[in-house]
Copies of this chain bind each other. A is one copy, B any other.
Amino acid sequence: MQTRYIIAVFLSLWLHTVYALDPLPSWNEGANKKSIIEFVAAVTNKSNPQYVSPEDRIATFDNDGTLWLEQPMYTQVMFAISRVKTLAPQHPEWKTQKPFSDILSGNTKALANISHDDLEKIVAETHSGMSVEDFIKIVQDWLASARDPHYGRQYTQLIYQPMLEVMNYLRANDFKIYIVTGGGQDFVRAFAPQTYGVVTAQIIGTAMKTNYMFVGDQPKLIRQPQVLLYSNYSGKAEAIDLFIGKKPIIAFGNSDGDRQMLEWTQANKKAHLMLLVHHDDAKREYAYGPNSPVGRFSNSLMQEALKNHWRLISMKDDWKVIFPLDKK
């Protein structure tokens, strides 16, 4: 026990040295930054009534619009469109089949208003038939070469620096960081470990069914054109229980699909904090809300957020920089 005590003292001294520095340097001083820091201070302080033991320090983050950009279109949809073009020579029938024909003819107006069912058709055709590991390689290759049309940068560079700092800060305080995305679980697993430092087991998303089979003498999991579980809206709370089995104590979202995740967090009997990133920065990023088909932040979500005192993070006012490359 003596040695253990000495370790604890050294560890404690070392952590104090590290965190005497501002843990959220890209956040402007204000009520939101203060709320995060005070929450972390409270739940990690054993003599505080709000103390939460490390195994219950579950943090969940939405991905699209919360950790990285989602405008003018979700990155995974950009990927699916690119896949349709790549695979078109093997599918001559797509030339006359909607929604594939709209993609191949460049009918951007039709694509802007694409329905959920049509998106699902595209995903089913382009995201299945290969092994999980082959799919992840396809996504990684695409992410390495694709560029966002507005900034001309790789998508993995268009992540939010202030949110990276929140993830690091929580991690340093023994929180377990989960990504709970409405996007494809394997799509996000293809880049999030390297990009955010989150291991695959802590990346939860909409998942396709897979089938176990031998290809030659090696077992493979082959992706099927069938959704096993949706991780959006109510599906986020359901997936959190399925994968984690505990309610989060802190959750970050930005749109209607995150509502139930925040409600589920609010239902935690332990201390909890709910936050929504509000895209109100037309100059540095985008400003959008109830009328955006991508990342809709409806009026009813806003009402619920205000009623429940969920914190609204203003990109314009709270964040000094948006992307890591903007850091001085």
Using a CB–CB cutoff of 8 Å, the interface residues on chain A facing chain B are 3-4, 6-7, 10-11, 13-14, 17, 55, 132, 176, 185, 189, 199-201, 203, 207, 210-212, 218-219, 221, 228-229, 234-235, 237-238, 241-246, 260, 263-264, 267
Partner of A244, one of B200, B212, B219, B244: B200
For A243, list chain B residues within 8 Å (CB): 201, 243
Given contacts A200-B245, A201-B246, contact A219 B264 (CB under 8 A): yes
For A264, list chain B residues within 8 Å (CB): 212, 219
Q: How many angstroms between the C-alpha atoms of A200 and B245 in the bound complex?
A: 5
**Chain B proximity of A256: nearest CB distance (Å):** 14
- A-B pairs with beta carbons under 8 Å apart, 12 shown: A3-B10, A7-B7, A132-B241, A176-B201, A185-B242, A200-B244, A201-B245, A210-B238, A219-B237, A219-B260, A221-B237, A221-B238
Chain A interface mostly: helix
Partner of A7, one of B11, B199, B207, B229: B11
Residue of B nearest to A210 (CB): B238
The 5 nearest A-B residue pairs measured at CB: A200-B245, A212-B234, A3-B14, A212-B237, A201-B244
Partner of A210, one of B4, B185, B241: B241
For A200, list chain B residues within 8 Å (CB): 244-246
**Chain B proximity of A316: nearest CB distance (Å):** 32
Is A207's CB under 8 angstroms from B242's CB? Answer: yes
Residue of B nearest to A221 (CB): B241
For A211, list chain B residues within 8 Å (CB): 234, 238
Is B7's CB under 8 angstroms from A10's CB? Answer: yes
For A7, list chain B residues within 8 Å (CB): 7, 10-11, 14
Q: How many angstroms between the C-alpha atoms of A17 and B1 in the bound complex?
A: 11
